[in-house]
Structure 1
Amino acid sequence: MKSINGKVIWITGASSGIGEALAYELDKKNCKLILSSRKEELLQQVKNNCSHPKNVRILPLDVTNFEAMPQKGREAISFFGHVDVLINNAGISQRSLIMETDFEVYQKLMDVDYLGTVAVTKAILPHFVERKSGHIATVSSLMGMFSSPYRSGYCGAKHALHGFFDSLRMEHEKDGIAVTMVLPGFIATDVAKNALKGDGSAQNKDDDATKNGMPVSELAQKLIKAIEKKKMESYIGRKEILAIYIKRFFPKLLHKIILKSQVR
């Protein structure tokens, strides 16, 4: 894809954070947007904030309602007659020790971050195969490549995404379908505030690393470039992305660095 200008883009998790920022950046490129999340009122606000609201459709969606997903896929296609790009962005994080985390919290993290993403992808995949064209960009995390204390369930779900989408890429390259895994580092969003504690309630507080992270608009711009370049993986952040390479060549060193940093 040389340019994303004018393409039809379906974004999940579009009511805030990375998804909202993507909507504004793609709106500048005259893209036709399908915005999804559970929060219809916030989606309407995002639409109204776009310069070309006539090119924006709202599709309320709970990614954990797996049975409804095939119909949601058909609705997404019906808005503009086709979809060019799916951006899987819906997700939730976690901040709790394994010993203090209810099993139900792990189930929710897998349902939202992994199975929900798989369900949305499967809903649009036959359309992409039929058209012999399509691009799936999935927002993972650096935590999808290595792990950290307090994030066991989140890391597990993000690791699972890589296994699934690496397989999808191999199976459907022949169908003209591209897959880009996007691995953000610390981005200035509410991800830490919304992160689940061990009992399933929201943490409701920010952390310094997230608060001082890359501006979300900058992340959105880099993510769009990664899609245009059809990158297989894109690491987006500041110095924290070096951890990818430390993990690859010096895993024991990264283990010590993370334990010493006590990032929560």
Structure 2
Amino acid sequence: MAQQGSLSNKVVWITGASSGLGKALAQECALQGAQVVLTARRVDELEKVRLSLTNPDRHICVSADISNENQVRHAYEQVLNQKGRIDWLINNAGLSQRALIADTTMQTERAIMEVDYFSQVFLTKTVLPTFLKQKSGRIAFVSSVAGLLGTQYRASYSAAKAAIHMWANSLRAEVAQDGVDVSVIFPGFVKTNVSFNALDGAGKPQGHQDEAIENGLEPEVFAKTVVSALLNGEEYIVVGGTKEKLGVWMSRLSPSTLYKMIRKAKVK
């Protein structure tokens, strides 16, 4: 399928850009000619990513904790001062979970919702006036196949990823007439360090890799697929292996069959 859009010289702001999906998306956008703005908490890690990109001098690092509203406002000002516009915002920063509901504290429930839902909402609301003024741009949210299905050990994560999906759907309807597009990306298993950082019930990082993630898609393949879909104006982008795609398909066709499949699945 021929791509409709081009990223040449477009400004693409990516959160959670120091590793994993964010890093892979940054590398692909840079390859396609974009000026990439990298955001995460650790500036040294961001610098490493920036230097790995095609034409490193065209890209900037803006460190911020996306759950800190003052830091987000400051980051936004820096991006506008240095780049003057934002063409794509990719809300990618996120936190996963590996714990049963019975073992998950309310503090952990809230921590996951804070990062995976509220912080994305706040950043988007902060940046939205620029998109509306430009009457152009695309806002993308990295949700998850878990946000479409809901599985064991990922209740809070699935809920937060479902919540941002529905918020994005409402946003899409509200800004469509203003030339602003909204896309939601649903990754299945991709080989990243997400499961090392996933929170256990007490809110501590799990610290080891999951088998399903280890056997997942390569991040570069994920990024190529996503950037291509975004350039084609796609709004609902599922990227994963056969099992995840089957699950998404089944969730629409026969939810009760899906629930049985999930009960039997090895998801830890």
User: Which band: TM-score by shorter chain?
Assistant: over 0.9
Contiguous gaps of at least 5 residues in structure 2: none
Given candidates 222, 226, 230, the residue that maps to 1:227 is 230
- Tell me the SS of whatever aligns to 1:138: strand
Given candidates 162, 165, 171, the residue that maps to 1:162 is 165
TM-superposed CA distance for 1:48, in Å, is 1.2
How many Å separate the matches in 2 of 1:180 and 1:69? 21
Given candidates 40, 43, 47, the residue that maps to 1:44 is 47
Partner of 1:252: 256
Given candidates 240, 245, 248, the residue that maps to 1:241 is 245
TM-superposed CA distance for 1:67, in Å, is 3.6
TM-score, scaled relative to structure 1 = 0.97
Partner of 2:178: 175
Partner of 1:64: 67
How many Å separate the matches in 1 of 2:171 and 2:80? 21
Partner of 2:266: 262
TM-superposed CA distance for 1:80, in Å, is 1.2
CA contact (8 A) 1:180 1:226 kept: no
Given candidates 103, 114, 119, the residue that maps to 1:116 is 119
CA contact (8 A) 2:37 2:59 kept: yes
How many Å separate the matches in 2 of 1:31 and 1:3? 9
CA contact (8 A) 1:72 1:123 kept: no
How many Å separate the matches in 1 of 2:17 and 2:67? 16
Partner of 1:210: 213
Residue 103 of structure 2 corresponds to residue 100 of structure 1: yes
Of residues 66-75 and 121-130 in structure 1, the stretch that sits farther from structure 2 once superposed is 66-75
TM-superposed CA distance for 1:51, in Å, is 2.6
CA contact (8 A) 2:7 2:33 kept: no
CA contact (8 A) 2:11 2:86 kept: yes
TM-superposed CA distance for 1:72, in Å, is 2.2
Residue 139 of structure 2 corresponds to residue 136 of structure 1: yes
Given candidates 76, 90, 93, the residue that maps to 1:73 is 76
Partner of 2:12: 9
- Tell me the SS of whatever aligns to 1:34: strand
Cα displacement string for residues 77-109 of structure 1 (whole angstroms, at most 9, x for unaligned residues): 221111100001000100001111111111110
TM-superposed CA distance for 1:155, in Å, is 0.7
Consecutive aligned runs of 4 or more in structure 1 exceeding 6 Å deviation: none
CA contact (8 A) 2:9 2:34 kept: yes
How many Å separate the matches in 1 of 2:131 and 2:146? 29
Cα displacement string for residues 108-139 of structure 1 (whole angstroms, at most 9, x for unaligned residues): 10110001111111111000000101100111
How many Å separate the matches in 1 of 2:246 and 2:169? 22
How many Å separate the matches in 2 of 1:55 and 1:72? 17
TM-superposed CA distance for 1:214, in Å, is 0.4
Cα displacement string for residues 43-94 of structure 1 (whole angstroms, at most 9, x for unaligned residues): 0100111231111111001111024333322221221111100001000100
**Identical counterparts, % of pairs:** 37
Paired residue type of 2:213: T
How many Å separate the matches in 2 of 1:69 and 1:186? 29
How many Å separate the matches in 1 of 2:32 and 2:143? 24
How many Å separate the matches in 1 of 2:179 and 2:5? 14
- Tell me the SS of whatever aligns to 1:197: coil
Contiguous gaps of at least 5 residues in structure 1: none
- Tell me the SS of whatever aligns to 1:174: helix
* Aligned residue pairs, count: 264
Partner of 1:24: 27
TM-superposed CA distance for 1:262, in Å, is 2.7
